[in-house]
Structure 1
Amino acid sequence: MTHFPSKRLSRPGVVLAAVAGLVAALGLGTVGEAHSAPAEATATAPRWSDRAHGFASLAGGTTGGAGGKVVTVTDQASLAAYAAAEEPYVIRIAGSIAVEPFGADIAVASDKTLVGVGDTGEIVHGELHLAPGTHNVIIRNLTIRDSAVEGNWDCKDTDFDGIQMDTVHHVWVDHNRFSNICDGQLDVRKDSEYITVSYNRFENNNKTFGLGWTTDVKTQITVDHNLFANTKQRNPSVDNAAYAHLYNNHLTAQADPGDPVWTYGNWSRGRTKMVIENSYYQDVQHPYQADATAELVERGSVLRNTTGRHDEWGAAFDPRDFYAYRLDPAAAVPALVGRFSGPQRRIGGAVTLQVPGDYPTVQSAVDAVPEGNSVPVTVAVAPGVYREKVFIPAGKPNISLQGTGQDRSDTVIVYDTPAAYGGSTGSATVRIAAHDVTARHLTFSNDFDEAAHELNAEQALAVKTTGDRIVFEDTAFLGNQDTLMTDSPRLDVISRVYIRDSYIEGDVDFLYGRATTVVERSVIRALSRGSDSNNGYITAASTWTGNPYGFLITRSKVVSDAPAGTFHLGRPWHPGGEPAAVAQVLIRDTELPAAVKAAPWTDMSGFSWRDARFTEYRNHGPGAAVTADRPQLDDTDARTHTVADYLRGTDDWAPHARR
Structure 2
Amino acid sequence: MRLPLLPLATAVTIAATAATAVPAVAATGPSPTVIVVTADGSGDHTTVQAAVDAVPSGNTSPVTILVREGTYKQQVVIPADKPYISLVGATRDPRRVVLTFDLSASTPKPDGSGNYGTSGSASYVISAPDFTARNLTFENSYDEAANGASQAVAVRTTGDRQVYDNVRFIGNQDTLYANTASATTFARQYFRDCYVEGDVDFIFGRATAVFDGCVIKALTRGSTTNNGYVIAPSTEIANPYGFLIHRSRLVSDAPDRTYHLGRPWPAGGSVTARGQAVFRESWIGRHVKDAPWSDMSGLSWRDARLAEYRNVGPGAGVNDDRPQLTAEQAAEFTPRKYLAGTDGWNPLRHHHGGHGR
Instruction: Identify whether the pair has TM-score above 0.5, normalized to the shorter chain.
Output: yes
Deviation for aligned residue 1:454: 4.4
Of the three residues 626, 636, 639, the one matched with 2:328 is 636
CA distance in 1, matches of 2:197, 2:90: 23
Q: What one-letter code is carried by the residue in structure 1 that aligns with 2:96?
A: D
3-state DSSP of counterpart to 2:284:
coil
What's 1:399 paired with?
85
What's 1:427 paired with?
121
CA distance in 2, matches of 1:406, 1:550: 29
Q: 1:454 to 1:518 in 2, by over 3 A?
A: closer
CA distance in 2, matches of 1:644, 1:560: 28
CA distance in 2, matches of 1:533, 1:364: 45
Deviations 1:59-86 (A, max 9, x none): xxxxxxxxxxxx9856xxxxxxxxxxxx
CA distance in 1, matches of 2:245, 2:228: 18
What's 2:155 paired with?
463
3-state DSSP of counterpart to 1:431:
strand
Of the three residues 580, 601, 619, the one matched with 2:293 is 601
What's 1:443 paired with?
137
3-state DSSP of counterpart to 1:358:
coil
CA distance in 1, matches of 2:260, 2:31: 47
Q: What one-letter code is carried by the residue in structure 2 that aligns with 1:534?
A: N
Q: Is the 8 A contact 1:349 1:376 kept in 2?
A: no
CA distance in 1, matches of 2:64, 2:83: 11
Question: TM-score, normalized by length of structure 1?
Answer: 0.48
Number of residue pairs aligned between Structure 1 and Structure 2: 329
Q: Is the 8 A contact 1:616 1:630 kept in 2?
A: yes
What's 1:121 paired with?
none
CA distance in 2, matches of 1:72, 1:405: 35
CA distance in 1, matches of 2:264, 2:50: 38
CA distance in 2, matches of 1:380, 1:576: 36
Of the three residues 18, 21, 27, the one matched with 1:344 is 27
What's 1:558 paired with?
250
CA distance in 2, matches of 1:406, 1:542: 33
Structure 1 residue ranges (4+ consecutive) displaced by more than 3 angstroms after TM superposition: 71-74
What's 2:213 paired with?
521
Q: What one-letter code is carried by the residue in structure 2 that aligns with 1:598?
A: D
Q: Is the 8 A contact 1:389 1:430 kept in 2?
A: yes
What's 1:376 paired with?
62
Structure 1 residues 537-556: aligned runs within 5 Å: 537-556=229-248
Of the three residues 192, 195, 204, the one matched with 1:503 is 195
Q: Is the 8 A contact 1:381 1:403 kept in 2?
A: yes
Q: What one-letter code is carried by the residue in structure 1 that aligns with 2:65?
A: V
Identity rate of aligned residues, in percent?
Answer: 50
Q: What one-letter code is carried by the residue in structure 2 that aligns with 1:433?
A: S
Q: What one-letter code is carried by the residue in structure 2 that aligns with 1:429?
A: S
Q: What one-letter code is carried by the residue in structure 2 that aligns with 1:344?
A: A
What's 2:354 paired with?
none
3-state DSSP of counterpart to 1:655:
coil
Deviation for aligned residue 1:577: 2.2
Q: 1:411 to 1:375 in 2, by over 3 A?
A: same
Which structure shows the higher strand fraction? 1
Q: What one-letter code is carried by the residue in structure 1 that aligns with 2:134?
A: R
Q: What one-letter code is carried by the residue in structure 2 that aligns with 1:617?
A: Y
What RMSD in Å do the two structures reach over aligned CA positions?
A: 2.1
- Alignment gaps of 5+ in structure 1: 1-70, 75-90, 93-111, 116-135, 139-174, 176-339
- Alignment gaps of 5+ in structure 2: 1-7, 108-115, 352-357
Deviations 1:83-112 (A, max 9, x none): xxxxxxxx53xxxxxxxxxxxxxxxxxxx9
Structure 1 residues 108-507: aligned runs within 5 Å: 113=15, 344-345=27-28, 348-356=30-38, 357-421=43-107, 422-454=116-148, 458-507=150-199
Deviation for aligned residue 1:344: 2.4
Bigger Cα Rg: 1
Q: Is the 8 A contact 1:349 1:375 kept in 2?
A: no
3-state DSSP of counterpart to 1:528:
coil
Question: TM-score, normalized by length of structure 2?
Answer: 0.88
Structure 1 residues 61-76: aligned runs within 5 Å: 73=10
Deviation for aligned residue 1:349: 4.5
CA distance in 2, matches of 1:400, 1:420: 32
3-state DSSP of counterpart to 2:50:
helix
Q: What one-letter code is carried by the residue in structure 1 that aligns with 2:325?
A: L
CA distance in 2, matches of 1:425, 1:605: 18
CA distance in 1, matches of 2:298, 2:199: 21
CA distance in 2, matches of 1:451, 1:584: 31
Q: What one-letter code is carried by the residue in structure 2 that aligns with 1:655?
A: P
Deviations 1:284-330 (A, max 9, x none): xxxxxxxxxxxxxxxxxxxxxxxxxxxxxxxxxxxxxxxxxxxxxxx
Q: What one-letter code is carried by the residue in structure 1 that aligns with 2:124?
A: V
What's 1:302 paired with?
none
Deviation for aligned residue 1:350: 2.3
Deviation for aligned residue 1:390: 1.3
What's 1:8 paired with?
none
3-state DSSP of counterpart to 2:66:
strand
Deviation for aligned residue 1:345: 3.5
Deviation for aligned residue 1:614: 0.5
What's 1:580 paired with?
272
Q: Is the 8 A contact 1:466 1:489 kept in 2?
A: yes
Deviations 1:474-506 (A, max 9, x none): 000000000000111111211000000010000
Deviation for aligned residue 1:405: 1.6
Q: Is the 8 A contact 1:523 1:557 kept in 2?
A: yes
3-state DSSP of counterpart to 1:397:
coil
CA distance in 2, matches of 1:555, 1:571: 21
Q: Is the 8 A contact 1:441 1:475 kept in 2?
A: yes
Q: Is the 8 A contact 1:529 1:535 kept in 2?
A: yes
